[in-house]
Structure 1
Amino acid sequence: MSETAEQLITPTIIEQAMSYEEYRTMIDNLLNENKTTGSNHSEGMVKYTKMNVHRMNRLDKQTLLKAELGEALESVEQQWIWLVLTEAWCGDAAQNIPVIAKMADQTDNIELKLILRDEHLDIMDQYLTNGGRSIPKLICLDAETLEEIGSWGPRPKEAQEKAMKWKNDSEISNKEWGEKLHKWYADNRTEDIQEEFVQLIKEWI
């Protein structure tokens, strides 16, 4: 983490960040007002958010963590904070954050905290992906010092490679791009994100 990022992620930011349950409640409350997070409350953005709630509900119910990942999580002896930059309208956030929440629930040593990207662009800009503000972005922090241990995001590696390939293909429309990406997530059934976190946790320990 750069010196700037270290100064930006303060105890106040962590204190004001949301739990997964608070994040989900906030999204439901916004949808009740026909809104989403951020400043764009267009019909399209609200529609994306409603789809994302369905995705998160499904993943909350269906995600089972692999034994190897459970063992890796149980081996964490330090106190960590997983700070995640997200937005309710983001499809990748909906596909990955429920799995991350399941991981954090496996151990008392990891606390998951979520903040909205567009309210924290100063932090987001320390964690760009190919120059873009791609989310979700997870930053693993030492709970006591808030020193960065590592980061992950916005997608599992294979999904990221395919997403960039499709995005650069002039014959694939934005709509098709989204459909292909979400089909990848559906077919993958959280396999890649779980495997990646097994390795990351070993590195971060």
Structure 2
Amino acid sequence: MKELIQQSLAKAISYEEYNLLFKKLVAEGTSTGESTKEKIDFTKLNYSRSKRLDKTIKLSEEQIISFQNLDIKQTWLVITEPWCGDAAQSLPYLNKIAACSNNIDLKIVLRDENPELMDSFLTNGSRSIPKLIIIDENQEVITHWGPRSKAATKIVVDYIKEHDRVDDQLKTNLQLWYNQNKGEAIIAEMQDFVLSEKGSEVI
């Protein structure tokens, strides 16, 4: 695992570089991986949503202090893709959190270019993204999180249990929840990791 983490970190990019890629994909009307119309449309929509969040996210003073008080250096490695809707709702918050702390280094890799890494962090057997891997100074995995907060996951699980499918209504419900929650669930779970000596695995 350590060797795989090292290899992944060596080709990881910053949030700024990821946004440049995002912008380029939108300008060229394409997406990462196989450029289907659905992926292209979602890439464009997600770019708009993530840029809006980049401009509007404001952490409270208490939240900022909690992340500033982290005294252990960590790398937050996120597996994602620009066409992923959940990623567009969480990555801007992870970036804002990382910016609060001198001890958090946010890095990003694309899922489909890193299948071995992705397959080491499956969610119920699925390559669900985004997936955040928190790594210590010795490049050992402390914990991981994703693809959604516990609250958002409950919305998805409950809907599938009732309707036995993933459809546009579920996506609409989830988007409305993201808009109302304003990242509080994500921030709270990241605070839990920071306040815990070792963190706790969230599937």
TM-score by length of 2: 0.92
Gaps in structure 2 of 5+ consecutive residues: 199-203
Residue matched to 1:58: 52
Q: Using the alignment, how far apart are the partners of 2:155 and 2:73 within structure 1? A: 34
What SS does structure 2 have at the residue aligned with 1:169? helix
Q: Using the alignment, how far apart are the partners of 2:163 and 2:90 within structure 1? A: 27
1:170 Cα deviation after fit: 2.8
Q: How many residues are matched?
A: 198
Aligned with 1:155 (options 139, 145, 148): 148
Matches within 5 A, 1:1-205: 5-10=1-6, 12-39=7-34, 41-143=35-137, 145-170=138-163, 174-204=167-197
What SS does structure 1 have at the residue aligned with 2:2? helix
Q: Using the alignment, how far apart are the partners of 1:62 and 1:159 within structure 2? A: 21
Give yes or no for contact 1:74–1:107 (8 Å, CA) kept in 2.
yes
Q: Using the alignment, how far apart are the partners of 2:166 and 2:72 within structure 1? A: 45
Report which stretch shifted further, 172-181 or 87-96.
Answer: 172-181
What SS does structure 2 have at the residue aligned with 1:113? strand
Runs of 4+ in 1 over 6 A off after TM superposition: none
Give yes or no for contact 2:87–2:129 (8 Å, CA) kept in 1.
yes
What SS does structure 2 have at the residue aligned with 1:164? helix
Residue matched to 2:201: none
1:173 Cα deviation after fit: 5.6
Residues 14-46 of structure 1, C-alpha deviations (whole Å, 9 max, x = no match) = 13211001001011112222111122x122211
What SS does structure 1 have at the residue aligned with 2:135? strand
What SS does structure 1 have at the residue aligned with 2:59? coil
Residues 126-185 of structure 1, C-alpha deviations (whole Å, 9 max, x = no match) = 111111111111111113x10111111111101001112223433766111111111110
Gaps in structure 1 of 5+ consecutive residues: none
Q: Using the alignment, how far apart are the partners of 1:204 and 1:130 within structure 2? A: 26
Closer/same/farther in 2, CA of residues 22 and 130 from structure 1, 3 Å limit: same
1:7 Cα deviation after fit: 2.9
1:120 Cα deviation after fit: 0.8
Give yes or no for contact 2:8–2:117 (8 Å, CA) kept in 1.
no
TM-score by length of 1: 0.91
1:109 Cα deviation after fit: 1.1
Give yes or no for contact 1:14–1:113 (8 Å, CA) kept in 2.
yes
